[in-house]
Amino acid sequence: MNKNFDAALEKQEQIARGKRIKSIRENELRLNKTDLAKKIGVSSQFLGLVEEGRGNLVYRSIKLLRDLSGHSSDYILYGLDDQVFSETKSYLEKYSEEELIAALKLLKDLSLLLKNN
C-alpha cells in the first residue's frame, strides 16, 4: 500500500513539474516547444511528454533549463521558492570571502552555544 501511495505521489509531482516547465517556457522564456527543446537537447515531442507529466528531463537538460531560465534546479524539480536563493546570493556578494568565512564561523559558534543551553 505504501508503494502505491509513493507512486501516486511521484506521478503528482511529475505532473506539477511538467506544468512548471511549460509555464517557464511559455510565460518567461516565451519559446515554442521546438525552440526550447533544441536549447535543452531534447526533441519537441519529448518536451511535450515532459510538460504533460509523462516524462522526466535528464540532468543535462535540467541544467540547461536552469541556466536559460535563471530558476534554481530546486524550483524546476520540486517547486521550491528560488527567490530566497537569489536574494541571499545578491546580499552575500557585498562581502569578501574572508568576511563570509568569519561570519560562518561566528554562526557555527552561536549555534553550538544555543544547542548546549
pLDDT digit string, tens, across residues 15-54: 999 999 999 999 999 999 999 999 999 999 999 999 999 9
Percentage of residues of the chain with pLDDT beyond 90: 74
Same domain, 24 and 2: yes
Distance CA 99, CA 107 (A): 12
Distance CA 78, CA 19 (A): 11
Range of the domain at 89: 81-117
Q: Is the pLDDT of residue 85 over 90?
A: no
Same domain, 74 and 93: no
Distance CA 51, CA 35 (A): 14
Mean model confidence pLDDT for the chain: 92
Joined grid coordinates for residue 51: 510538460
CATH number at residue 2: 1.10.260.40
Joined grid coordinates for residue 31: 519559446
Same domain, 5 and 36: yes
Q: Is the pLDDT of residue 2 over 70?
A: no
Q: What domain count does the chain have?
A: 2
Same domain, 75 and 61: yes
Same domain, 74 and 36: yes
Q: Which of 49-53, 88-92, 96-100 has the highest mean pLDDT?
A: 49-53
